[in-house]
Structure 1
Amino acid sequence: MVSVNLGVLHYVLDHIYCTILHRMKIGTPFFSKGWGGTNLELLERMVNQLFPNAASLAWPPAVIKPAWKTKWETNNACLKECSFATPCEEELVHALPPESRTARVAFLVPKSVPAEKMACVVHLAGTGDHTFERRLRLGAPLLKQNIATMVLESPYYGNRRPIMQRGSKLLCVSDLLLLGKATIDESRSLLHWLEAEAGFSKTGICGLSMGGVHAAMVGALHPTPVATLPFLAPHSAVVPFCEGLYQHVTAWDALKEDASHPLVKCNGEVTLEQVKEKLRSVLSLTDVTKFPVPKDPNAVIFVAATDDGYIPKHSVLELQKAWPGSEVRWVTGGHVSSFFLHGDAFRKAIVDGLNRLSWRKASP
């Protein structure tokens, strides 16, 4: 008999999925329009504004006033939606495409349960997740445990996708950074609303893949303890784009030829290695290990896959090392298969992370 190594199969499945979805030249690659600025100095200044050093990261969340509209309700649950202007700084709002400047949110909440006896988790989008449905399905079973689900539509995705962008392929490097900063600001404002206005006694933030990176950033920057639950997430955008499968679907030639960002030439021309090193330098500013430790690291639970073709094990372990007290849980599978097969493990991590938080006292 021929024995089959399931781990290898999961890993190969990730490569096949990436090939079919990204590498068959059906669409444009990532960053087909280059770096996204008029000169290198402008890009670097913008990046430093997006991800400042840890000493200046404790800015308070912007206050939002969401106006909810009920989409449907049953005897036990209600789904509401709202939109609001992104709370980013004015300079960054202008840098966002017009389509991305308005945030959209879905809110699935149990009925007939007071907010102070409920928890709520904000779910952030992974690469390619353009709708609410997938994350609502992940959170819906938690209603029975009085855990509400709030789903944020990412900038550059869904109804917020720029008209010239095809699918999830961001046109410029700066788009990836702007997406991250807007997601962080919007998520922190939503958490603040849940805590200060809606009266929820426990809150959390979770996400898969790219959404997991953003969830980790939000958990690190939020001023109050929240359950922080990154699923199938690297410690930095460097991992998928410079080391992982996305390096095969990145428009290296476009980055190389983008005259607005001149690089030092070697023997009269810019080398591919120089371009890769520049991208690594820019994306290293998304390294979550450089962010502050969350207020309650015991409520941080990473869920990672044993045979992930996108996210190597060392990347997950770097985050755990940077945040003492956090926990890593492993599920058997690859990046793609774990997403489809391990919803129960993700939900258990959500429940356990929330259980590690203390109930907030109601405001007088």
Structure 2
Amino acid sequence: MGVSKPEDLKRLFEFRKIIGNRERCQNLVSSDYPVYIDKIEEQSDCKILDGHFVSPMAHYVPDIMPIESVIARFQFIVPKEWNSKYRPVCIHLAGTGDHHYWRRRTLMARPMIKEARMASLLKPKDQIRSSLKNVSDLFVMGGALVLESAALLHWLEREGYGPLGMTGISMGGHMASLAVSNWPKPMPLIPCLSWSTASGVFTTGVLSKSINWRELEKQYYTQTVYEEEIIHMLEYCGTDSFKMGQEFVKRFLAIDGPSCVPKPVECHKSSKTSISATSEGLLLQDTSKMDCFNHTLSTNKSSYTSCSPQSCHLLSKEQRRNNLQKESLIFMKGVMDECTHVANFSVPVDPSLIIVVQAKEDAYIPRTGVRSLQEIWPGCEIRYLEGGHISAYLFKQGLFR
């Protein structure tokens, strides 16, 4: 997995500023956005409708999506008979590795028809495989699903369905969270096995071991545009990103001693963000996020030029490699927080309609060192299940329903 082309990241970061604001985002997809039904299949207990529409993302960020993802497809499972005047529908977004309909149709949608007479609309994962070719693939997926969900919600309202809700497991739960953040009406949301940001999944969670860090480090170190331009576009510098930077500096000092590290700059210039991490004894009010972020990222490179020959020769090749790895990690976390952290999106209209389902021993979705959803969405409910990410996915489907 590569960092992505700088020009692609710039376009995505600019678009994130638009979809991160509900007032601006709701005008991107019209209430009469065209949706087409291709096939209707009668089953013994339900009707299954297959449909498609052009992803709105293709209109706003041209040529950023894989050609096979421009046409968004979905499957709509509807009970043959409704028990009341209401026709509730829940949109299920696909998680990592869930590329088709069968799993959610069998484990979630059809049981929900029997148990609650609730219809389900399944949106598949457009990516051909589970692995990401570039970091930007995750951002493209998120932006596309926010707009595609809006198109489907508008269509369901036009067809007279409601109340409407959204859910998803793992990455699907996170994408559902972003979609509901941008919907201008109160909406129930059940994100399962997801948290406030996707950055920890790829930087500290189990999946971090699958990342080609050598390639990322090479791109970051050889292409100065990432440090000189991309960093300045990052708008999120919250408690967790700042804390990771502080921890990096502490580790660097512990390894190399203070003689090889320049004196920290004071972060007290023009203000955009207030950082508060009282749990760690950190309180930095009225700060410039880029001063702090740039200082953390430049520590490694500046240390090589500012330290004395007597002290610099102590830096072994392995130590320099470790420092570059840490610097790349911090950059990656900042980039991923920019486009996936829910704090960078509007708070849902009514957080009391949100129930977050988490696994207590989830090694895939780290919660340590990142902001809690309860802090970002005051009023939401968190429920914890015994077990880890995989066991919860395999054995807790009944609780998810």
Candidates 100, 106, 121, aligned match of 2:90? 121
Candidates 8, 12, 26, aligned match of 1:59? 26
Shift of residue 115, structure 1, vs aligned partner: 9.2
C-alpha change, 1:333 and 1:293, in structure 2 (3 Å) is: same
Shift of residue 254, structure 1, vs aligned partner: 1.4
**TM-score normalized with structure 1 length:** 0.77
Shift of residue 65, structure 1, vs aligned partner: 2.5
- Map 1:306-345 onto structure 2 (within 5 A): 306-314=360-368, 318-345=372-399
Candidates 85, 107, 119, aligned match of 2:76? 107
C-alpha change, 1:57 and 1:322, in structure 2 (3 Å) is: farther
Shift of residue 224, structure 1, vs aligned partner: 1.4
**Residue of structure 1 in register with 2:109 after alignment:** 139
Shift of residue 241, structure 1, vs aligned partner: 0.9
Kept in 2, the 8 Å contact 1:121–1:148? The answer is yes
CA distance, structure 2, for counterparts of residue 181 and residue 315 of structure 1 = 25
Candidates 310, 329, 342, aligned match of 1:288? 342
Kept in 1, the 8 Å contact 2:357–2:383? The answer is yes
Q: CA offsets per residue over residues 108-143 of structure 1, 9 Å max, x none?
A: 001233995111011011111111111112121111
Shift of residue 316, structure 1, vs aligned partner: 8.6
Tell me which amino acid in the other structure corresponds to 2:3.
W
Shift of residue 51, structure 1, vs aligned partner: 4.6
Report the more deviating stretch, 68-77 or 209-218.
68-77
Structure 1 position 149 matched with structure 2 position 120: yes
SS of residue matched to 2:91: strand
Candidates 182, 191, 209, aligned match of 1:221? 182
Structure 1 position 232 matched with structure 2 position 232: no
Q: CA offsets per residue over residues 70-108 of structure 1, 9 Å max, x none?
A: 353134310111121111252424111111111110110
Structure 1 position 275 matched with structure 2 position 275: no
**TM-score normalized with structure 2 length:** 0.70
C-alpha change, 1:331 and 1:146, in structure 2 (3 Å) is: same
**Residue of structure 2 in register with 1:8 after alignment:** none
Kept in 2, the 8 Å contact 1:86–1:93? The answer is no
Tell me which amino acid in the other structure corresponds to 1:189.
A
**Residue of structure 1 in register with 2:133 after alignment:** 171
Candidates 36, 50, 70, aligned match of 2:16? 50
Kept in 2, the 8 Å contact 1:154–1:183? The answer is no
SS of residue matched to 1:330: strand
Tell me which amino acid in the other structure corresponds to 1:216.
S
CA distance, structure 2, for counterparts of residue 89 and residue 51 of structure 1 = 17
Tell me which amino acid in the other structure corresponds to 2:389.
H
Tell me which amino acid in the other structure corresponds to 1:176.
L
Kept in 1, the 8 Å contact 2:142–2:178? The answer is no
C-alpha change, 1:119 and 1:279, in structure 2 (3 Å) is: same
Kept in 1, the 8 Å contact 2:25–2:182? The answer is yes
User: What stretches of structure 2 of length at least 5 have no aligned partner?
Assistant: 228-297, 306-319
**Residue of structure 1 in register with 2:245 after alignment:** none
Over aligned residue pairs, what C-alpha RMSD do you find? 2.4
CA distance, structure 2, for counterparts of residue 136 and residue 315 of structure 1 = 35
CA distance, structure 2, for counterparts of residue 292 and residue 147 of structure 1 = 28
SS of residue matched to 1:218: helix
Shift of residue 243, structure 1, vs aligned partner: 1.6
C-alpha change, 1:177 and 1:114, in structure 2 (3 Å) is: same
The size of the alignment, in residue pairs, is 303
**Residue of structure 2 in register with 1:25 after alignment:** none
C-alpha change, 1:337 and 1:309, in structure 2 (3 Å) is: same
SS of residue matched to 1:105: strand
Tell me which amino acid in the other structure corresponds to 2:332.
L
**Residue of structure 2 in register with 1:21 after alignment:** none
C-alpha change, 1:143 and 1:43, in structure 2 (3 Å) is: same
CA distance, structure 2, for counterparts of residue 76 and residue 55 of structure 1 = 38
What fraction of aligned residue pairs are identical, expressed as a percent?
Answer: 30
Tell me which amino acid in the other structure corresponds to 2:352.
N
More RCO (CA 8 Å, sep 6+): 1
Kept in 2, the 8 Å contact 1:220–1:293? The answer is yes
Tell me which amino acid in the other structure corresponds to 1:321.
E
CA distance, structure 2, for counterparts of residue 170 and residue 59 of structure 1 = 29
Structure 1 position 180 matched with structure 2 position 146: no
Shift of residue 210, structure 1, vs aligned partner: 0.8
